[in-house]
Every structure is written in C-alpha cells, then in structure tokens.
Amino acid sequence: MCPTSRVEKLFDEALMALRKMRYNLAFDLFTEVMELEPEIPEVHYNRGLAAGHLLKWEEAAQNFSMALRMTSDTDSFLQRAIARLHLRDWDGALRDLDAVLAQERENELGNYHRRDLVLFLERTGRKPEDVPFHCWGWFDPRLKDFVGVDPEIVPKAERAELRAYLIEALKDAAPAGCDHSFRFTEEWALENRRDPRGVSRFLFERGMRCDCQVVAEPERAPSSPAG
C-alpha cells in the first residue's frame, strides 16, 4: 500500500468515526494521519473538532490555528473562537468572531456568539468566574463524566418526556422563550444523567436544531401496508 492510499484510508476512517461520535477513535486516527501528512488543513480542522468533543480545548485551539496557517477559512476561525470561549480567552475569541464576520457577514453562529460576547465584555462588575450568557452550560463539571462515551440515542418514548420538560422550561422562560439553542435539552440531559452533547447531536442529526424544534418534532405517519 502506498503512503498516499494509507493516508486516505485513515482519513476516511477518522471522518467516519467523527460522524458516528466515536471521538476517542477519531482523535487517535486524525493524530496518526497528522503524523504522516502534517500539512493537510482538513486533518488539523477535524482533529480539532474531535479534541473539542473530548474537552481538550487547548489542543482543539492549536489544531484550528494549524489549519489557519494553511487556509483562512471561515469554519476554522469560528471553531477556534468556540475553543477560545471554552478557554475563557475572550479577546482571542472576539478577534476570531470578527474574522468570521469579515468573511461572511450573515454567519448565524458567528453573529450569535459575537453579540453575546460583546454584551458580556461591556458588562460592569464582572467577576472572574462569570461567562457569556450563551456559554452558561459549557463549564458544568458534570460534563467530564461523559467524555468519550458512546453516542446518546434518545428513543421516541424518552423524547415525549423531553418535550414535556421543554414545554414547561420554555413557558418559564417567557417572554424570551427559545434562544434557538439546545439550552434546556442539555439541562434535561444532565438532570437525567445523560450526555448533553450526545443528546443534542442525536436530535440535530434528525433535523431538530434547537429546543423549540424538539417540542415541534412531527409525529411520523404510520407506514402504509404493502400491496
């Protein structure tokens, strides 16, 4: 097997592991590819994604920085901003978010986090432990219990329980309601000793992008009998 085909095979296996939320495996495979071919930006980018899911935020930021040495793409700036938010590097995160919006002014996630971060930085009387509003759940120590575990599958019966929880939570949050994140979904997951990121990823991959979309999940029509 020639080196190139081996790299391609490992890279494909790493991407598949990442898609299946097998983050430890993905991280190890991307590391192996990186050691063989250190100048491929996509390898550094995807290794950074895997590192973030494992709460290795320093490594994630370093990988996105390596990717940005080779290509100044929006996604790498955005993901490094998120890594820096996790590291409480507020100024670095703001610079990256500005870089995102300089390339793509209407970037929804970039605008979302930049508005939140600017309001936070302008707040008087901030304490060292304070964080931007939309980062509130990122620093929960319980998250470490779920690092590297298998993906969370939320069966239909449990999604009914989740929807009931969300309806009450969103009612209590009125008039603001849903902030178009999985804030209350992840809160429910933690209270039920579930992996919050695994739960939100499972729902995201099924077309639900935030709490209110989980509440509005359409009931599947029964299959028509054959014949």
pLDDT tens per residue, range 68-112:
999 999 999 999 999 999 999 999 999 999 999 999 999 998 999
Please report, for the chain, how many H helices and E strands are present, in that order.
Answer: 11, 0
User: Same structural domain for residues 150 and 84?
Assistant: no
Q: What's residue 144's pLDDT?
A: 82
Q: Is 113 in the same domain as 146?
A: no
Q: Give the span between the Cα atoms of 33 and 26, in whole angstroms.
A: 11
Q: Are both 180 and 104 inside the same structural domain?
A: no
The total of structural domains in the chain comes to 2
Q: Are residues 95 and 160 in the same domain?
A: no
Of the candidate ranges 1-5, 40-44, 52-56, 167-171, the one whose mean pLDDT is the lowest? 1-5
In the prediction, which pLDDT does 3 show? 57
Asked which of 92, 111, 135 is the last residue of a domain, the reply is: 135
Query: Side chain identity at 159, as an amino acid letter?
Result: R
Same domain? 128 vs 145? no
Question: Same domain, yes or no, for 156 and 115?
Answer: no
Asked if the structure places residue 223 within a domain, the reply is no
Instruction: Please state, in angstroms and rounded to a whole number, the distance separating the CA atoms of residues 38 and 16.
Output: 20
DSSP state of 144: G
Domain that holds residue 204: 141-215
Paired tokens of 76: 């790498």
Which of 74, 108, 135 is the endpoint of a domain? 135
pLDDT in tens, 112-151: 999 999 999 999 999 999 999 888 888 888 888 777 766 6
**Statement: residue 219 has pLDDT above 70:** no
Residues 62 and 122 in one domain: yes
In the predicted structure, residue 223 carries a pLDDT above the cut 50 = no
Residues 107 and 18 both lie in one domain? yes
The verdict on 196 and 166 lying in the same domain is: yes
Q: What is the pLDDT of residue 227?
A: 36
